[in-house]
Amino acid sequence: MTAFLTKVPELVKSGAIKTNRVKLWKGGLDGIEGGLAYIKDGKLSAEKFVYKI
């Protein structure tokens, strides 16, 4: 695992692996319910939710 983790930055930089897109969900902690509904509705695909608190 250590060997792999040392290679990850170069793999991302070269485009061999890609990170998930970041989706900034508005509303802070109050927006969590809406984000969970978004997931439940099957709308989440290859995205990472970020809540600004």
* 18: DSSP letter: -
| Alpha carbons 38 and 24: distance in angstroms, whole number | 13
The reported pLDDT for the residue numbered 20 is: 87
Return the pLDDT at 36.
Answer: 93
Helix (H/G/I), strand (E/B), else coil: 44: coil
Residue 23: its H or E element: strand 21-25
Question: Which tokens go with 38?
Answer: 């978004």
Q: What's the confidence (pLDDT) of residue 24?
A: 92
Angle (nearest 5°) at CA 10 between 5 and 13: 130
pLDDT digits (tens, 9 = 90+) for 6-44: 999 999 999 999 888 999 999 999 999 999 999 999 998
pLDDT in tens, 44-53: 888 998 998 8
Q: How far apart are CA 5 and CA 53, in angstroms?
A: 30
